[in-house]
Amino acid sequence: MEFLELNVVSTLSGVAAVLLVAFIRLHWPFRFQYISSLFRRRPDKVKRWLEASFRRNSSRTVAMLDKSTSEIMSGNYEVAEKFIAEGLTACKERPSLFNQAMVHYLFYNLSIIYLHRGKYEEALDVAFRVYERDRSLSNALGVIICAQARLGDVGSAWEAYELLPKKKTRPELHLFCLAEIEAAKGNFERAVWHMNKLLHLRFSTALHLNQAEIEKRLEEWRNSSTQAG
């Protein structure tokens, strides 16, 4: 019976085992996201792993999140919005702690769709709500910066930009936000310079950017620069 008696070592071992199982259960659905992050310079592989998440996670809300991300990266915004709506409905029907957290990420994806579709006020409103709930979501702050710049509120955009963590945030997010701010100031050549520097990074996962969105902005700002000159 002495083997059954609790002591410090057995108690700590039991607690550690429980925490390990809980950690694995919490993070297991995100395994495809973690794998895809290893290929963030290869958009084709990132999307492949996100599509694998959609197939393997079945009806779980993380599947809807990853599928919407994949569609945003492909520029299929209407399709992405449909999966976000499905994910939010599932979160509402099954209000677990996991799904309560998922709501923020789904709304973050929605704010990106609004930004890329030119619905800047909607993007600002949704991203602000997301960032207000979770200040660690630097990409949501990026949506706020870009939306404010697009709306012509350069002062607020710059104030928000200064809140971006300098070391923890990927350089492509900084470059994209700076490009939007410079364009809002009318410094189109400078905006193009930031975007070209971003392109030298080969690919950006910030704000789920796709090549078409980058090219669209480059064309817009080059034309504006020519007209200004």
Residue 23 has a pLDDT of: 39
Question: For domain 30-117, which CATH number applies: 2.40.30, 3.40.50, 3.80.10, 1.25.40?
Answer: 1.25.40
Q: Can you tell me whether residue 74 is helix, strand or coil?
A: coil
Token match 């108690």: residue? 11
> pTM to 2 decimals?
0.83
First to last CA, the chain: 89
Q: Is the pLDDT of residue 36 over 90?
A: no
Asked if residues 206 and 182 have their Cβ atoms less than 8 Å apart, the reply is no
168/114: higher pLDDT: 114
Beta-carbon count within 10 A of 83 CB: 23
Token match 């609004």: residue? 114
Dihedral Cα 78, 79, 81, 85, nearest 10 deg: 140
pLDDT tier, 118 (very low <50, low <70, confident <90, very high otherwise) = very high
Distance, in Å, from the CA atom of 119 to the CA atom of 116, rounded to the nearest integer, reads 8
Asked if residues 142 and 173 have their Cβ atoms less than 8 Å apart, the reply is yes
Residue 20 has a pLDDT of: 39
Query: Do 134-229 and 30-117 fall under one CATH topology?
Result: yes
CATH of domain 134-229: 1.25.40.10
Q: Which amino acid is at 36?
A: S
Which residue ranges make up each domain of the chain?
A: 30-117, 134-229
Residue 15 has a pLDDT of: 46
128's tokens:
């602000």
pLDDT tier, 18 (very low <50, low <70, confident <90, very high otherwise) = very low
Distance, in Å, from the CA atom of 179 to the CA atom of 216, rounded to the nearest integer, reads 13
pLDDT tier, 95 (very low <50, low <70, confident <90, very high otherwise) = confident
